[in-house]
Amino acid sequence: MTISSFDCSDTDLTGKSILITGGTGSFGKMMLKHILANHKPRKVIVFARGEYNHYLLQNMLTEEQLQLVRFFIGDVRDQDRLVMAMRGVDIVIHAAAQKQVPLAEYNPFECIRTNVIGAENIVQASIRAGVKQVIALSTDKAVNPINLYGASKLASDKIFVAANALASGTGTRFAVVRYGNVLGSRGSVIPFFRKLLKEGSDFLPVTDPRMTRFWITLEQAVAFTMSCLPAMRGGEIFVPKIPSMRIVDLVEAMAPGIEARHVGIRPGEKLHEIMITEHSAPRTFDMDDRFVIDPDWSFWDREPHSSDGYPAMPEGFEYTSDKNDSWMSVADLQAVLKNIPEAGD
């Protein structure tokens, strides 16, 4: 099977000003590329702290594209800088995060400052600047977390959902998109495996042969996020229906016949991932190509997504990578790998 295409044709950014935090990362660059290719925004603000990455991104754009893009050096830890960057902004896409599990465990304060305090700063700055829509990126690791990265993203999700109460009467709305591992993104396993193979390794390390993961391509993550903008009412979490895969199948797809050497699960790593828990099932609705989790309580007079006729999930429903209805085969993975740049970014 292949990862389904998410239809974002209903999203209209004509004349809109969009700010992307973490805009020089894998997702941010793909989002910028998508917006410039498919929409006519008033401007797109790339917000990130790395000066050199801004420079590299500038050199990737045409002169015509550069007329629409603004490069803001800044950190989500700095609320005042965010407010300045958000002046006149209609939509914020919050992709900035510290994502490396082992580094987060070793540097907990830094992880919290970016992922949790940074989330609060996005909320406060968006309300102060009068932003209309904010979509924050989350991860399956935020559900029943066992590592600090996941716990920090759970806290972030809670902040963005509750932010709709703080913004009552201002017109600012917040929502979350949650998905699994992004194939080929910077820091993911595919660039790591490719590096080992290039160096002549005769094996690829696998933490556990039973391990499964949700997978989505970078392009699909961007399309899914964009498609959630017209659907959001505030306070919900959107979860795409995406396939699972076995890590041993990824090894076979990348290097047929090579040894998958079992090295044991790393601290803070799960055998399987989960995106919707049994606890959330009563508030989860099936929107055909995605699920939507409504908040525990209403922050204002808003209709639940059930009012659109979407069915609620049954009691006991869970969405986990090991019990998924959709799976990627070795052949599916090989087809996807052909479209992932060697650099992995």
What's the rounded Cα separation, in Å, for the pair 207 and 261? Answer: 8
Is residue 265 within 8 Å of residue 101, measured between CB atoms? no
Site of tokens 């609320």: 79
What's the rounded Cα separation, in Å, for the pair 257 and 173? Answer: 50
What's the rounded Cα separation, in Å, for the pair 258 and 335? Answer: 19
Active-site residue identified among 99, 141, 153, 241: 141
Site of tokens 């508030």: 283
User: What is the DSSP secondary structure assignment for residue 267, as one 8-state letter?
Assistant: T
Tokens of 275: 């995106």
What Rg, from alpha-carbon coordinates, does the chain have? 20
Q: Is 141 a catalytic residue?
A: yes
Site of tokens 């080929």: 184
Backbone angles phi, psi at 74, to 5 degrees: -175, 165
Is residue 248 within 8 Å of residue 209, measured between CB atoms? yes
Which residues form the catalytic set? 141
